[in-house]
């Protein structure tokens, strides 16, 4: 397709930060000298192309490479972009032996780079942007998908009391809180009236599934939010924890299964692929594997869960759409994302109807 760029071209690698994205390297270097164990300057900053909610930088220094994540500048929605929460959950999980990057320090002093930020280890590995895994052997694909599910099960099996995360989320029904949260965020960033969205806003809270378990929930768990080893199908680090909280593990599990109801288009979707030929496990196999690893008999109706996930994505992208209009979104990719709100609402409605709406 002429003019289209691959996910690798769009997201992989770094660019020199420009304008507002430039940070004060001298001040940062002074802060790291005081707060990051074994840090040695000088340092140089470049900005990662991928991701667009919390701007992310590569910090190259004499002592090694680090990653800096900061809050965006400009007006922000309440509770969004909480880098302190990202730091806390990754730090706790890393210390408990789960594959989250090692954390070096959190800075809540806005005078250093202009916003809160944290520094973590830069894990050497690869990101899989395309769920079809072009060029991989069928066995390698299968083992990679299994590793992704096993890692998710390991996250959901973490003892939240033991790792000091029992205060990381609110009590009560997770899906209820999430529907409420994304309804509020959607309303705060609403740009026009969408009747189907209004119907979902009424239907979802009236049909919540019962919550039987509570665990750390990543909130955005999919194949392109992890770093795999270069030479084997092993997850070295799970990234992008900004939506993490305590909640119903089925939130994460149903979200990773969204790949099975989303077309590929060079991204994580695998609905339209010949999965058998590629060696990608079928959805039933993933359900079985996840249930075995977490001691479940089964998972409830996925149609409600898919409706909820598409609704939530519509809420997230509506926030991006509003930031594009307000001029605070942090990548060119944001503009293209904002046109996807209505199609996501359509898919949410389709699954809501299958679940009895």
**Residues 6+ away with beta carbon under 8 Å from 322:** 188, 189, 190, 191
**Residues 6+ away with beta carbon under 8 Å from 97:** none
Residues 307, 166 share a domain: yes
60 assigned to some structural domain: yes
Q: Which structure tokens are listed for 117?
A: 């930020």
Which of 139-143, 171-175, 242-246 is most confident? 139-143
Q: 103: which strand partners?
A: 120
> Scanning the structure block, which residue is given the tokens 């409706």?
307
Query: What pLDDT is recorded for position 333?
Result: 64
**pLDDT at position 34 over 60:** yes
Our CA angle for 100, 101, 104, nearest 5°, is: 135
Query: What pLDDT is recorded for position 263?
Result: 95
Q: How many CA atoms lie within 13 A of 123 on its CB side?
A: 21
Q: Rounded to whole angstroms, how far apart are CA atoms 2 and 317?
A: 26
Residues 145, 111 share a domain: no
Q: Where among 121, 148, 179 does a domain terminate?
A: 121
Residues 50-96: pLDDT tens digits?
A: 655 788 999 999 999 999 999 887 666 555 668 999 999 999 999 99
Q: Are 250 and 300 spatial neighbours (Cβ–Cβ below 8 Å)?
A: yes
**pLDDT at position 137 over 50:** yes
Residues 112, 151 share a domain: no
Report percent pLDDT > 70 for the chain. Answer: 90
Q: Rounded to whole angstroms, how far apart are CA atoms 264 and 129?
A: 10
Q: Rounded to whole angstroms, how far apart are CA atoms 315 and 302?
A: 20
Tabulate helix, strand, coil % of the chain (nearest 5).
45, 15, 45
219 assigned to some structural domain: yes
Q: Phi/psi zone of residue 282: left (φ > 0), alpha (ψ -120 to 50 degrees), beta? A: beta
Residue 15: domain span: 7-121
Query: What pLDDT is recorded for position 329?
Result: 62
Residues 186, 89 share a domain: no
Residues 331, 298 share a domain: yes
Residues 148-199: pLDDT tens digits?
A: 999 999 999 999 999 999 999 987 899 999 999 999 989 998 888 889 999 9
207 assigned to some structural domain: yes
The CATH code of the domain that includes 30 is 3.30.200.20
- The answer to which of 19-23, 104-108, 201-205, 225-229 has the lowest mean pLDDT is 19-23
- What's the average model confidence in pLDDT over 91-118? 95
pLDDT tier for residue 351 given thresholds of 50, 70 and 90: very high
The distance in angstroms from the start CA to the end CA of the chain is 38
- The answer to which of 54-63, 66-75, 105-114, 262-271 has the lowest mean pLDDT is 66-75
Residues 283-342: pLDDT tens digits?
A: 999 999 999 999 999 999 899 999 999 999 999 888 887 777 777 666 666 666 667 889
Q: 107: which strand partners?
A: 117
Residues 12-33: pLDDT tens digits?
A: 678 888 877 889 999 999 999 9
CA 85 vs CA 92, 115, 221, 242, 285: distances in Å:
11, 15, 16, 7, 33
Q: 54-82 in b/e burial notation, b at 16+ Cβ within 10 A? A: bbbbbbbbeeeebbbbbbbeeeeeeebbb
**pLDDT at position 350 over 80:** yes
Other Cβ atoms within 10 Å of 243 Cβ, number? 22
126 assigned to some structural domain: no
133 assigned to some structural domain: no
Q: Rounded to whole angstroms, how far apart are CA atoms 52 and 302?
A: 29
- What's the average model confidence in pLDDT over 114-139? 95
- How many domains does the structure of the chain reveal? 2
Residues 148, 96 share a domain: no
129 assigned to some structural domain: no
Residues 329, 226 share a domain: yes
CA 49, 50, 53, 55 dihedral sign is negative
The CATH code of the domain that includes 299 is 3.90.1200.10
128 assigned to some structural domain: no
pLDDT tier for residue 5 given thresholds of 50, 70 and 90: very low
Q: Are 98 and 154 spatial neighbours (Cβ–Cβ below 8 Å)?
A: yes
Residues 147, 88 share a domain: no
Q: Rounded to whole angstroms, how far apart are CA atoms 94 and 239?
A: 12
Helix (H) or strand (E) holding 207: none
Alpha helices in 209-295 (DSSP H): 250-256, 275-278, 283-294
Residues 250, 157 share a domain: yes
Q: Are 142 and 275 spatial neighbours (Cβ–Cβ below 8 Å)?
A: no
Residues 169, 102 share a domain: no
- What's the average model confidence in pLDDT over 244-255? 96
- What's the average model confidence in pLDDT over 196-211? 96
Residues 39-50: pLDDT tens digits?
A: 999 999 999 876
Residues 267, 207 share a domain: yes
281 assigned to some structural domain: yes
Residues 170, 98 share a domain: no
- What's the average model confidence in pLDDT over 208-237? 96
Query: What pLDDT is recorded for position 4?
Result: 44
Query: What pLDDT is recorded for position 106?
Result: 96
Query: What pLDDT is recorded for position 3?
Result: 44
């Amino acid at each position: 397709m002429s003019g289209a760029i691959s996910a690798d071209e769009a997201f992989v690698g770094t660019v020199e930060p420009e304008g507002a994205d430039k940070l004060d390297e001298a001040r940062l270097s002074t802060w790291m000298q005081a707060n990051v164990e074994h840090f040695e300057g000088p340092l140089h900053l470049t900005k990662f192309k991928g991701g667009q909610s919390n701007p992310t930088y590569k910090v190259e220094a004499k002592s090694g490479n680090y990653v800096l994540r900061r809050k965006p500048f400009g007006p922000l929605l309440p509770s969004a972009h909480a880098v302190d929460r990202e730091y806390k959950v990754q730090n706790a999980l890393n210390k408990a032996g789960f594959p989250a990057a090692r954390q070096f320090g959190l800075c809540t002093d806005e005078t250093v780079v202009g916003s809160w930020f944290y520094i973590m280890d830069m894990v050497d590995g690869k990101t899989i942007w395309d769920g079809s895994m072009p060029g991989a052997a069928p066995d390698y694909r299968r083992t990679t998908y299994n590793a992704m599910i096993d890692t998710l099960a390991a996250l959901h099996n973490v003892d939240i009391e033991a790792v000091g995360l029992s205060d990381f989320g609110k009590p009560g029904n997770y899906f209820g809180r999430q529907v409420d949260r994304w309804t509020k965020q959607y309303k705060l960033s609403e740009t026009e009236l969408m009747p189907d969205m209004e119907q979902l806003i009424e239907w979802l809270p009236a049909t919540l599934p019962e919550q039987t378990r509570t665990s750390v929930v990543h909130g955005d768990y999919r194949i392109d939010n992890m770093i795999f080893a270069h030479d084997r199908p092993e997850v070295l680090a799970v990234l992008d924890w900004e939506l993490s909280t305590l909640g119903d593990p089925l939130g994460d599990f149903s979200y990773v299964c969204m790949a099975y109801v989303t077309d590929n288009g060079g991204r994580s979707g695998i609905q339209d692929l010949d999965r058998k030929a590629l060696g990608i496990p079928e959805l039933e196999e993933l359900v079985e594997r996840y249930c075995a690893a977490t001691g479940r008999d089964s998972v409830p109706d996925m149609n409600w869960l898919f409706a909820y996930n598409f609704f939530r994505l519509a809420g997230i992208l509506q926030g991006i759409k509003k930031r594009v209009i307000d001029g605070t979104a942090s990548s060119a990719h944001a503009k293209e994302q904002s046109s996807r709100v209505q199609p996501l609402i359509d898919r949410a409605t389709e699954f809501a109807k299958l679940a009895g709406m």
